């Protein structure tokens, strides 16, 4: 049994009675240096700093002290993005007892007067250098977001994201050392925070209140013509016309505007993308394979549907794979797993999927191996624009069932002084559910 004791910035005084008792009776106390310093002289236990890397070093550390009374120190509620979650995953719930204190999130809401159901929470710490991009998905007019910062640089990084997403007048409140004797609070607009030289506490939470989007790029604009975009939205990349991305924030419905993605024409267009996502049928926490990902639009939109959704995007072309990484960060899902190479060469190393989308490169062997990797209730969706792949999908539909449809989209465009329908290339979509 290991006890996880949560405490605030003021140390053991904020612990529960049970938590203080566990600290006093412990043989071994584990924690980060800041937490260990807070209990210095208050316990007879041997104090040990967390190993680095944490997850890899924990099993050996816990095994070394098996049979002794072990306490792990944590911030606030150890089950809010805390060490207790990791320990329960490793040991099981029967071997971990948690003594929570008031979480920093609860303290922040109390200071601000924000009800729990009026704000979202995003954690930046321990999630990699691009973690601040995770905030983008939640920015929308009138929204509130609590950002659990990684360090003292996070407030400026959050402010820059707000500006880039079209919210320069977002109101930011930086709360430092919550619950401690040195608690601080400062407020300013995103533009002011981004430009200020002010030093922020290393332990801080950034509270974001979005106003109304500002600036010409705050909402996607429709391209006037062409498969890439209008003349003003085109840049050159290695000799290829590539559309310049435009910020999109707070849009939750499937089928983001095509201009939200940087692409070279290899893009599942918005109407077809919405159809694909409808039959992929995401539920929270599921894993999607996006094979032949192109610009990554299917995987990115899957990930945006829920914060726990996971994606492995496979793209043969390295330039496009790099573009997927940029698109994912810009659209608020920087944790997208992008792998470069042929799908057939990589498929054995991919984690088991809940759903698979094949946007390009479908073959008999690839579909066979995809079908074999799907578990019960797994979904396979394939798009085809060629007669050869269409013939393959017709054969698979006959063998495995599912739904086979032809999707055709036409848009109104200028025709002299009038308007007429301009049809896009039709796409055949095969969608099938794997039964139990």
CATH code assigned to 2-102: 3.40.1010.10
Distance from C-alpha of 281 to C-alpha of 302, rounded to nearest angstrom: 9
Q: Which pTM was predicted? A: 0.84
Q: Cα 88–94–97 angle (5° rounding)?
A: 70
Q: Which CATH class is domain 105-209?
A: alpha beta
Torsion of CA 192, 196, 198, 199, to 10 degrees: 100
Q: DSSP secondary structure string, 113-161?
A: T--GGG-EEEE-TTS-TTGGGGGGGG--TT-EEEEE-SSTTHHHHHHHH
Distance from C-alpha of 88 to C-alpha of 85, rounded to nearest angstrom: 5
* Sequential pLDDT tens for the chain (436 residues): 899 999 988 888 889 999 999 999 999 999 999 899 988 877 789 999 999 888 899 999 999 998 899 999 999 999 987 899 999 999 999 999 999 999 999 999 999 999 999 999 999 875 555 689 999 999 999 999 999 999 999 999 999 999 999 999 999 999 999 988 899 999 999 999 999 988 899 999 999 999 876 654 434 443 333 333 333 344 444 445 565 555 577 888 889 999 999 999 999 999 999 999 999 999 999 999 999 999 999 999 999 999 999 999 999 999 999 999 999 999 999 999 999 999 999 999 999 999 999 998 899 999 999 999 999 999 999 999 999 999 999 999 999 999 999 999 999 999 999 999 999 999 999 999 998 7
The conformational region for residue 179 under phi > 0 = left, psi -120 to 50 = alpha, else beta, is left
Distance from C-alpha of 346 to C-alpha of 103, rounded to nearest angstrom: 42
- Please name every residue paired with 337 in a beta bridge, in sequence order, or none if there are none: 312
Give me the residue label for tokens 């707070």: 250
Name the H helices within 165-296. Answer: 190-195, 270-280
Assigned fold of 250-433: Rossmann fold (3.40.50)
Return phi, psi of residue 193, to 5°.
Answer: -65, -40
Any residues with CB less than 8 A from the CB of 422 and at least 6 apart, and which?
A: 410, 411, 412, 413
What residues does each domain of the chain span?
A: 2-102, 105-209, 250-433
């Amino acid at each position: 049994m290991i006890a996880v004791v949560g405490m605030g910035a003021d140390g053991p005084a904020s612990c529960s009675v049970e938590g203080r008792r566990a600290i006093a009776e412990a043989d071994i106390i584990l924690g980060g240096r800041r937490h260990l310093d807070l209990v210095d002289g208050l316990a007879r236990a041997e104090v040990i700093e967390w190993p680095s890397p944490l997850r890899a070093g924990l099993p050996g550390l816990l095994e070394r002290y098996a049979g002794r009374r072990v306490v792990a120190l944590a911030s606030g509620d150890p089950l809010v993005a805390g060490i207790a979650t990791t320990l329960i995953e490793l040991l099981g719930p029967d071997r971990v007892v948690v003594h929570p204190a008031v979480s920093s999130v609860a303290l922040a809401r109390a200071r601000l007067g924000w009800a729990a159901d009026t704000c979202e929470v995003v954690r930046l710490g321990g999630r990699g250098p691009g973690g601040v991009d995770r905030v983008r998905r939640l920015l929308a007019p009138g929204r509130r977001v609590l950002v659990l910062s990684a360090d003292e640089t996070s407030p400026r990084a959050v402010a820059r994201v707000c500006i880039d997403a079209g919210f320069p007048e977002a109101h930011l409140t930086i709360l430092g050392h919550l619950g401690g004797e040195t608690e601080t609070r400062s407020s300013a607009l995103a533009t002011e925070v981004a430009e200020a030289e002010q030093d922020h506490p290393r332990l801080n939470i950034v509270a974001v209140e979005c106003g109304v989007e500002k600036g010409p790029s705050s909402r996607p604009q429709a391209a006037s013509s062409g498969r890439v975009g209008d003349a003003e939205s085109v840049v050159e990349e290695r000799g290829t016309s590539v559309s310049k991305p435009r910020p999109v924030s707070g849009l939750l419905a499937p089928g983001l505007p095509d201009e939200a993605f940087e692409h070279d024409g290899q893009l599942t267009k918005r109407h077809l993308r919405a159809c694909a996502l409808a039959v992929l049928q995401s539920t929270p926490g599921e894993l999607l394979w996006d094979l032949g990902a192109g610009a990554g639009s299917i995987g990115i939109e899957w990930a945006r549907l829920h914060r726990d959704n996971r994606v492995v995007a496979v793209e043969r072309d390295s330039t496009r794979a790099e573009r997927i990484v940029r698109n994912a960060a810009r659209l608020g899902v920087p944790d997208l797993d992008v792998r470069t190479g042929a799908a057939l060469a990589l498929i054995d190393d991919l984690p088991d999927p809940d759903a698979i989308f094949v946007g390009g490169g479908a073959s008999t062997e690839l579909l066979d191996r995809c079908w074999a990797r799907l578990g019960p209730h797994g979904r396979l969706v394939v798009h085809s624009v060629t007669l050869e792949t269409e013939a393959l999908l017709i054969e698979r539909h006959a063998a495995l069932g599912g739904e086979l449809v032809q999707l055709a989209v036409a848009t109104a465009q200028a025709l002299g002084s009038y308007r007429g329908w301009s049809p896009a290339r039709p796409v055949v979509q095969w969608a099938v559910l794997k039964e139990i």
